[in-house]
Amino acid sequence: MAKTALQFQHNGRDVAIFVDGGTNLLVALRELIGDMTPKFGCGQGGCGACSILIDGELHLSCLTLAETVAGRSVETLDGIKEGPNLHPLQRAFADNFAAQCGYCTPGMLMAAKALLDRNPQPSRAAVVEAISGNICRCTGYEPIINAVLAAASGGRARA
Partner 1 sequence: MLELRKDIFADERDDNLKEIGKGTQRQDMLGHVTGTSTYFDDHKLQGMLHLKVVRSTHAHARLRRIDTSEAERSAGVRRIIRGSDVPRNLNTLLSLINFGKDDEPSLAVDKVRYKGEPIVAIVADSPREAYEAMAKVRIDYEPLPAVLDVEDALKPGAPVVNDTYPKNAFIYHDVYDHQKLRFGDVERGLAAADHVLEQRYQMSPIEHAPTETNGSIAAPDTNGRYIVYTSTQALFFSLDTCAKILDVPSNTFHFIGGTVGGGFGGKVDTLTEPLSILGAMLTGRPVRYLFGREEEMQYGPPRGAERIYIKDGVMRDGRIVARKIRAYFDSGAYTRLSSYAAVKCAAHLPGPYTIPNVYGDVYCVFTNRTPATAMRGFGVTAMDFAIECQMDKLAHLVGMDPMEFRILNAYRDGDMKAHRREAKNTALIECVQVAAEKAKWPIREEFKRASSRKEGGGSRAAIPPTPRESYAPATAPSQQRTTYDRAPATSREPPSPPPPPPPRPLAPSHGAARFSSVFGTRRR
Partner 2 sequence: MSVTVRTFTSTGEAAAVLSSDRSARYLGGGTLVMRALNEGDISISTIVRASDHALTRIDATGSRIIIGAGVTFARILAERDLGFLHAAARSIGGPAVRNMGTVGGNLFASIPYGDFTVALLALDAVVSVQGGLGSRDMPIEEFLQTRERQTGTLVLSVSFQKPASADAFRYRKIARIKPKGGAVITLAAHLPVSSGRIAGARIALGSMAPTQIRARAAERALEGRTLDAATISAATAAAVEGIAPADNALASGWYRREVVGVHLRRLLSGQE
Q: Is 116 in the site for partner 1 (CB under 8 A)?
A: no
| 87 secondary structure, DSSP code | P
Cα separation, 125 vs 91, whole angstroms = 22
Q: Which residues inside 49-108 make contact with partner 1, applying CB under 8 A? A: 49, 76-78, 81, 86, 90-91, 93-94, 97, 99-106
Contact between residue 74 and residue 11 where contact means Cβ atoms under 8 Å apart = yes
Q: Give the one entry of partner 2, partner 1, none that residue 90 binds, where binding means its C-beta sits below a cut-off of 5 to 8 angstroms depending on kind.
A: partner 1
Minimum separation from the CB atom of position 97 to partner 2 (A): 23
Burial class (CB in 10 A: 0-12, 13-18, 19+), 100: middle
Q: Which helix (H) or strand (E) holds 89?
A: helix 88-95
51: left (phi over 0), alpha (psi -120 to 50) or beta: beta
Q: Is 40 in the site for partner 1 (CB under 8 A)?
A: yes
Q: Which stretch binds partner 2 (CB under 8 A): 71-79, 85-93, 108-116, 146-154?
A: 108-116
Residue 31 CA: distances (Å) to CA of 20, 27, 46, 119? 12, 6, 22, 33
Report the residue from 67, 135, 141, 153 that binds partner 1 according to the rule CB under 8 A.
135
Residue closer to partner 2 by CB (options 67, 95) is 67
Contact between residue 75 and residue 52 where contact means Cβ atoms under 8 Å apart = yes
Q: Is 71 in the site for partner 2 (CB under 8 A)?
A: no
Q: Is 137 in the site for partner 1 (CB under 8 A)?
A: yes
Q: Which residues bind partner 1 (CB under 8 A)?
A: 1, 20, 22, 30-31, 34, 36-37, 39-44, 46-47, 49, 76-78, 81, 86, 90-91, 93-94, 97, 99-106, 109, 135-138
